[in-house]
Amino acid sequence: MTSHSAQPSLIGHPHFHYKNGVLHAEGVALDSLANQLGTPLYVYSRAALAQAWQSYRDAIGDRPVLICYGMKANSNLAVLKEFARLGSGFDIVSGGELKRVLAAGGDPAKVVFSGVGKQAWEMRAALEAGVKCFNVESEAELHRLSEVAQSMGQRASVSLRVNPDVDAQTHPYISTGLKENKFGIAIESALDAYRTAASLPGLDIVGVDCHIGSQLTDISPYFDALEKLLDLIQQLATVGITVQHLDLGGGLGIRYTDEVPPSPKALLDQVFERLQARGLGHLHLVLEPGRSLVGNAGVLLTTVQYLKHAPARNFAIVDAAMNDLLRPALYDAYHGVQPVSPHDGDTTQYDIVGPVCESADWLARQRPLALQAGDVLALESAGAYAMVMASNYNTRARAAEVMVDGDQHYIVRQRETLDDLLRGESTLP
């Protein structure tokens, strides 16, 4: 054990900082939020969202790029509204996400509809809303979309998601560009698929799409994929099929621990350099960042309930659980842990675990912390793939979400109640 006296610094969280010995989100003390609203509690920084967005805007400059926020990372209406205000488009993967975009005031003409399993009702809703483009992922989907568009007397703009068989060098569950993945159309079959699309009524070909994975900390896989896509675009031109845009998906990583993720500028500069070299500088570019816009804009607050010292491990049992933050159990993911109000004392290596009845219910392992029951902890990098993946397992109510703006805070999702969880259920007579 070592002495613990210095206040820790948060990795990758410029808008979460210690002031007078208490962790703050912008100008709001997180201990007061925990006391007032209870825990578990997701807390987002409005300024952090804006700063992440600006990093893309600065990288784009006057180049023709549309940013479509990959909203599966965090679909809270307040988050969506912020990006809509900033001029963002949206990458959606369901009819439910389309409804959220429209409810938040997003522009449907800046929406791209991705996903391997679009149903007919979702296609109809998207056509009625006037989305920019469908990212089609199979020939069967092309046929269904053609039928739906015809039945409505409309034309659907399509981009085919091409699977370039490129290893993104990330977790296998979030790698999406290999031939064994369910996503997209194999690069070898793409030309035939585009010919099919061109032959079907009710479809207009507008682009080529690709997304190779998430949490990329090396941009070289992007360029492996890009070269294959540019070959395809030039092939398409030889058979009379022209496209207006190239969609490279999202996937730029964030810093969870010691990663050094590439900047949007590093990616865009090289993409446009290669487009120009191929004589394709006229193409518009679509990007679908998710995690890199929201991941480090949020923390999850949780309170220590018990300290349990076992022969093999020491456990800090907290009130958050795998139903609040699934990433550690699902991906063996690392999230930083910081005490909201650090106190001096010897540190002990703790596993941070929740009350759910699963051995997989852990949030962090072997972290050196000086803890007491009642301490509030902040789990870092909880802006992405946290609340969106939350569940009611063990009949646990989902946590509230709060957005901080300067020295003000706003509840942007109320905490569920146990009555909420029972609503809609019934027993047999």
3-state class of 249 per DSSP? Answer: coil
Question: Residue 140 has which token pair?
Answer: 């069967």
Contact of 57 with 394, CB cutoff 8 Å? no
Q: At what angle do helices 77-86 and 46-60 cross, to 10 degrees?
A: 30
CA angle 43, 46, 48 (to 5 degrees): 90
Per-position DSSP letters for 283-308, written without gaps between them: -EEEE---HHHHGGGEEEEEEEEEEE
Scanning 278-390, the segments in alpha helix (DSSP H) are 291-294, 327-331
- Single out the residue of 325, 340, 300 nearest to residue 391, CA to CA: 325
Question: Residue 47 has which token pair?
Answer: 């300024």
Is residue 357 flagged as an active site residue?
yes
Cα–Cα distances in angstroms (integers) from residue 59 to residues 56, 63, 267, 293, in the given order: 5, 9, 9, 14
Q: Who's near 153: CB < 8 A, 6+ residues apart?
A: none
- Which of 68, 133, 210, 357 is catalytic? The answer is 357
**Does residue 8 have a cis bond before it (omega within 30 degrees)?**
no
* Separation of alpha carbons 123 and 148, rounded Å: 7
Q: How many CA atoms lie within 13 A of 181 on its CB side?
A: 28
CA quadruple 80, 386, 23, 30: dihedral positive or negative? Answer: positive
Contact of 235 with 162, CB cutoff 8 Å? no
Q: What number of other Cβ atoms are within 10 A of residue 402's Cβ?
A: 23
Q: Who's near 30: CB < 8 A, 6+ residues apart?
A: 22, 23, 24, 43, 299, 301, 340, 376, 378
The catalytic site residues sit at: 357
